Amino acid sequence: MLKRRNFILPIVIFLICSTGVFAKDKLEISGTLDSSIEGISDDGELIGRERLDLELKKNFGFDADMYIDLATYSMKNEDAEIELNEAYLNYYTDNIDWRIGKQIINWGSSYKLQPTDYFNPHDYTAIKPLDEKLGVKAVKGIYYTANGLEITGVITPYFERNKLSEEKENLLKIKGVTGVENDIENIQGGFKITKRAFKGFDLSASTYHGFDKEFIENDKGKFIYPEANRIGFDFIGDFGEMGVWTETAYSIYEDNQFDNRLEAALGIDYKFSDDLYLVGQYYFKGGRLDNEDDIKILNFHADRPIFQFHQIECNINYELETETFVVEPQFNYSLANAVELQIGGTYVDSDDEDDAVVSKLGKDRVYTRLKIEF
């Protein structure tokens, strides 16, 4: 833990000390206050969550800037926790953009489930897990070539797993899953080459060496995050007026007991002139062992503004193997500039809820959520 703090501390100290040196560039302070109440329909439990993200940004001339997202959050009336969600320094040269620090690295063009998004685990304790990623400590460089290629390299010194809810952690402990390492101190790395606007398409090819973000029991009865090498491909563009994308990643495991696996997403989107936006996507993830099922999910999303400032949206996820439906309607009511009240619900229809991957997205519930950005 000490090592992790040491990584971030110099950035924070540098930011504070530098405010006097670079007085002409002011420190910008902004943030988000997020307060929600969930009512779980199975047991009538009410879960309250509070989260304050304080964001600090400072420019150092035109060549560098810094960003810190300090999150304070509490859940179920427990003591508040403070965490640096992101804290990084950007340094720009003529052809290379560097970013060092805790950051979110978004790779992949698919809708929410992105096979080539190798680095950041999802936060399954969040009210919308697929919208929340955890920052990872990393050094990232993007080199822009004269002929329009973007070559990205990423190195992360520590592995981070998906963050699971307390109930799921307890469930795993009951099953005897206690010895899984949280931080594996091995360097992960990845490269990506992107060519934009090639005959109307953005194309990317990527490689990665690291670990699966979800653990599995190996043949010795230990729970591990398997080490893997991956190659990926991503393309996005449009056919006619319809947006299309496909993204694949093929994992080759270091340990022979695991089957190499394919993860892929194929999707389309379309926006009507009345602003109705529709997304459809098929997602596939192969099993790593004979006893681990393939995951096949159909994602649908629709949203549309109503009365100019407000919005209705609905996500439907259907997992084919377990025949599980998760339906998530939501109404976003804009109270004022940058103040939004969200009212929504989740309905899960499953015969096999424990094994269904999509049931990780939420239980049967209704919720209200107030978001104030400042």
Q: Rg of the Cα trace of the chain? A: 21
Q: Determine if 195 is a binding residue for other proteins (CB under 8 A).
A: no
Site membership for other proteins, residue 200 (CB under 8 A): yes
Stretch that binds other proteins, among 18-26, 77-85, 153-161, 303-311 (CB under 8 A): 303-311
Q: Quick one: which of 16, 37, 187, 197 contacts other proteins (CB under 8 A)?
A: 197
Report the C-alpha dihedral over residues 280, 149, 151, 230, rounded to 10 degrees. Answer: 40
Q: Does 77 bind other proteins (CB under 8 A)?
A: no
Determine if 303 is a binding residue for other proteins (CB under 8 A): no
Query: In whole angstroms, what is the distance from residue 276 CA to residue 199 CA?
Result: 27
Chain centroid to Cα 103, Å, comes to 11
Binding-residue total with other proteins (CB under 8 A):
40
Q: Position 157: which residue type?
A: P
CA–CA distance, 357 with 319 (Å, rounded to integer): 8
Considering beta carbons, is residue 97 or 293 the nearer one to other proteins?
A: 97
Q: Does 202 bind other proteins (CB under 8 A)?
A: yes
Binding status of residue 262 toward other proteins by CB under 8 A? no
Give the one residue of 214, 340, 349, 364 binding other proteins; rule: CB under 8 A: 340
Q: Please report the DSSP string for 80-101 in residue order.
A: PEEEEEEEEEEEE-SSEEEEEE
Place of tokens 């399954």: 124
- Considering only residues 174, 307, 351, 354, which one is a binding residue for other proteins as defined by CB under 8 A? 307
- Closer to other proteins by CB, 16 or 242: give it: 242
CB 303 to other proteins: min, Å: 11
**Can you tell me which of 42, 185, 241, 290 binds other proteins, judged by CB under 8 A?**
241
Site membership for other proteins, residue 196 (CB under 8 A): yes
Site string (45-64) toward other proteins, x via CB under 8 A? --------------------
Contact between 129 and 361 under an 8 Å Cβ cutoff? The reply is: yes
298 near 320, Cβ under 8 Å?
yes
- How do beta strands 149-156 and 188-198 pair? antiparallel
- In contact, 182 and 3? CB cutoff 8 Å: no
Shortest distance, CB of residue 238 to other proteins, whole angstroms?
4
Q: What is the three-class DSSP state of 205?
A: strand
- Pick the stretch among 210-218, 232-240, 248-256, 289-297 that binds other proteins (CB under 8 A): 232-240
- Nearest CA among 109, 116, 122 for reference residue 154: 116
**By CB under 8 A, is residue 5 in contact with other proteins?**
no
| CB closer to other proteins, 43 vs 94 | 94
Q: How far is the CB of 34 from other proteins (least distance, A)?
A: 12
List the one residue out of 87, 85, 53 whose CA is nearest residue 68. Answer: 87
47 with 140: CB under 8 angstroms? no
Q: Which amino acid is at 217?
A: E
Nearest approach in angstroms of CB 373 to other proteins is 4
26 is an interface residue for other proteins by CB under 8 A: no
Interaction of residue 373 with other proteins, rule CB under 8 A: yes
| Residue 73 CB partners (closer than 8 Å, separation 6+) | 49, 50, 51, 52, 80, 81, 83
Alpha-carbon gap, residue 206 to 118, rounded angstroms:
10
Instruction: Tell me if 313 contacts other proteins by CB under 8 A.
Output: no
Binding segment (CB under 8 A) for other proteins, from list 18-26, 236-244, 318-326, 342-350: 236-244
Is position 236 an interface residue for other proteins (rule: CB under 8 A)?
A: yes
φ and ψ at 337, to 5 degrees?
A: -55, 125
Binding residues (CB under 8 A) for other proteins: these are 30, 90, 92, 97, 104, 106, 109, 142, 144, 150, 196-197, 200, 202, 236-238, 240-244, 269-273, 275, 277, 305, 307-309, 334, 336-338, 340, 373-374
